[in-house]
DNA sequence: AATACGGGGAC
DNA sequence: GTCCCAGTATT
């Protein structure tokens, strides 16, 4: 693949001199990779130096106290990395005689080592053609191939990993992996990359389509939206009520609920009464309304908080769609409704 | 499939 | 403020 060669060539001419690039010792590579997870080189570099000074080998690290490791990690964040680092060092010393696993598959078993880190160590130290996919690789590939699959979706992770794996130079996986990452960090950077000096400018899809700034696509974590649900618990003198089936998409499809009035904001009894008098089910009907729950029930779904009020509405009669309250348990209902039914003394 | 997990750098 | 950074573990 010509792209792979171009990247490796660019790397040989442009790579920064970094201490972990002077060695293939798995301990050093492992340490550097853990430190650099979600961490910029500038921030991680001093920690790499101090860790190697304090713990020159995996045996030194394994013999330390966890608090000593955490102290040295102080300020770097994501402290589970430090705890896993220490635990893994002990594991390697005590169970593996101080010898690092040498394949992607085995490395993946280590605490704190995921797909990325296992690939990095396997390729750099053991020449295994396991493609790394980090934030840089997502950016380079999405732009070069013009792929807009969200990089934080399951689909995207699969797709980009496969693409990187197809692209990797099996003759030189170590340099290819580091090349594409370094290229992403230095040349194909997030903001305002200088594409006029890019060695891939002639074949970059995003550049042709002027979509460099649109890629990669990352779906925003949906903010939790707040909704106000008002359920109308209608009760007739002959002990009937009304349940409605939820149609269409969205939550609770095909489940049953009391007639619902969704409002933009929380409503008062006075406020809801006004709406009720014109409601389809209550037109020209005498009714008496009261609020069941004084405290708003906040039902939490993944991306919605449902601020819920149950309004008890007594009427003389209900039409033919009403069901006997005694049958209410035969209908599938959301937990929110089910909890109310169980708690309410019909 | 979401979410928690840190802190700093770049704009 | 917003986005991003050589991601992983847990729910």
Could you give the residue ranges of the DSSP H alpha helices within chain A? Answer: 2-14, 26-35, 41-54, 58-63, 66-73, 80-95, 104-107, 115-126, 135-144, 154-167, 173-186, 205-208, 269-277, 335-343
Please provide the CATH number assigned to the domain covering A7-130.
1.10.340.30
- Domains of chain A, by residue range, sit at 7-130, 133-167+190-221, 225-343
Question: In degrees, to the nearest 5, what angle opens at C-alpha A280 toward C-alphas A306 and A273?
Answer: 60
C4 C1' closest Cα residue: A190
Reduced DSSP (H G I as helix, E B as strand, rest coil) percent helix, strand, coil of chain A, to 5? 45, 15, 40
Band of residue A252 on the pLDDT scale cut at 50, 70, 90: low
Q: How confident is the model at residue A188 (pLDDT cuts 50, 70, 90)?
A: very high
Closest-approach nucleotide to residue A155, Cα vs C1':
B1
The catalytic residue among A33, A128, A159, A182 is A33
State whether the Cα torsion A191-A192-A198-A203 is positive or negative: positive
Alpha-carbon Rg for chain A in angstroms: 30
> How confident is the model over A202-212, as a mean pLDDT?
96
Give Cα separations from A235 to A53, A269, A322 (angstroms): 76, 17, 9
Share of chain A above pLDDT 70, in %: 93
**Rounded-to-integer distance, Cα A111 and Cα A127, Å:** 22
Question: From the CA of A221, how many Å to the C1' of B2?
Answer: 9
Nearest residue (Cα to C1') for B8? A43
Question: Does residue A43 surpass a pLDDT of 70?
Answer: yes
Terminal-to-terminal C-alpha distance of chain A: 72
Chain Cα centroid distance, residue A113: 18
Instruction: Assign A265 to helix, strand or coil.
Output: coil
CA-wise closest residue to A173 among A237, A103, A234:
A103
In the predicted model, is pLDDT for residue A338 greater than 90? no
Residue A302, pLDDT > 50, answer no
Give the pLDDT band (50/70/90) at residue A221: low
Distance A207 CA to B11 C1' (A): 22
Least confident span in A46-50, A121-125, A141-145, A240-244: A240-244
For residues A218-247, average pLDDT: 81
What integer is the mean pLDDT of A218-228?
A: 68
Q: Taking all atoms of strand B, which protein residues have CB closer than 7 Å?
A: A 38-40, 42-43, 75-80, 152-155, 191-192, 221-222, 224, 302-303
| Annotation marks residue A33 as catalytic | yes
According to CATH, the topology of domain A225-343 is Nucleoside Triphosphate Pyrophosphohydrolase (3.90.79)
Report the top-level CATH class of A133-167+190-221: mainly alpha
| CA nearest to nucleotide B10 C1': residue | A191
Question: Quick check: helix, strand or coil at residue A213?
Answer: helix
Neighbour tally for A299: CB within 10 Å: 17
Bases of strand C lying below 7 A from some protein CB: 3-9
- By CB neighbour count within 10 A (0-12 exposed, 13-18 middle, 19+ buried), where does A230 fall? buried
What pLDDT band is residue A294 in, cutting at 50, 70 and 90? Answer: confident
Inter-residue contact A204 to A144 (CB < 8 Å)? yes
Looking at every residue in chain A, the average pLDDT score rounds to 90
Q: Is the pLDDT of residue A41 over 50?
A: yes
Instruction: Reply yes or no on whether the pLDDT at A248 is more than 60.
Output: no
Higher pLDDT, A49 or A78: A49
State which nucleotides on strand B lie below 7 Å from a protein beta carbon.
Answer: 1-3, 5-11
Output the pLDDT for position A52.
Answer: 97
What average pLDDT does the segment A64-93 reach? 91
> Smallest CA–C1' separation from A40: which nucleotide?
C5
What residue is closest to C9 (Cα–C1')?
A112
Q: How many Å apart are A91 CA and B4 C1'?
A: 26
């Amino acid at each position: 693949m010509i792209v792979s060669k171009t990247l490796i060539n660019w790397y040989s001419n442009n790579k920064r001199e970094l201490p972990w690039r002077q060695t293939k010792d798995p301990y050093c590579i492992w340490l550097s990779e853990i430190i650099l997870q979600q961490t910029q080189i500038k921030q991680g570099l001093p920690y790499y130096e101090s860790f190697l000074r304090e713990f020159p080998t995996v045996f030194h690290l394994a013999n330390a106290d966890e608090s000593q490791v955490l102290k040295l990690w102080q300020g770097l964040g994501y402290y589970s990395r430090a705890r896993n680092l220490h635990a893994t060092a002990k594991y390697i010393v005590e169970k593996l005689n101080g010898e690092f696993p040498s394949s992607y598959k085995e490395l993946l078993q280590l605490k704190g080592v995921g797909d990325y880190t296992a690939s990095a160590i396997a390729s750099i130290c053991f020449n295994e053609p396991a493609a790394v996919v980090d934030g840089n690789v997502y950016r380079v590939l999405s732009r070069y191939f013009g792929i807009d699959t969200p990089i934080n979706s399951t689909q995207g992770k699969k797709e980009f990993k496969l693409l990187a794996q197809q692209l990797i130079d099996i003759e030189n996986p170590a340099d290819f992996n580091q090349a594409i990452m370094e290229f992403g960090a230095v040349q194909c950077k997030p903001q305002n990359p200088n594409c006029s000096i890019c060695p891939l400018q002639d074949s970059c899809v995003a550049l042709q389509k002027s979509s460099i700034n649109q890629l990669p696509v990352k779906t925003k974590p949906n903010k939790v939206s707040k909704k106000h649900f008002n359920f109308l618990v209608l009760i007739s003198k002959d002990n009937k009520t009304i349940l409605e089936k939820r149609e269409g998409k969205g939550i609770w499809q095909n489940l049953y609920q009391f007639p619902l009035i969704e409002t933009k904001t929380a409503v008062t009894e006075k406020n809801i009464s006004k709406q009720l008098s014109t409601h389809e089910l209550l037109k020209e009907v005498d009714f008496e309304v009261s609020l069941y729950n004084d405290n708003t029930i906040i039902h939490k779904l993944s991306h919605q908080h449902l601020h819920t009020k149950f309004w008890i509405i007594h009427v003389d009669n209900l039409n033919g769609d009403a069901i006997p309250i005694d049958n209410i348990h035969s209908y599938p209902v959301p937990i929110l409704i089910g909890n109310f039914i169980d708690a309410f003394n019909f």
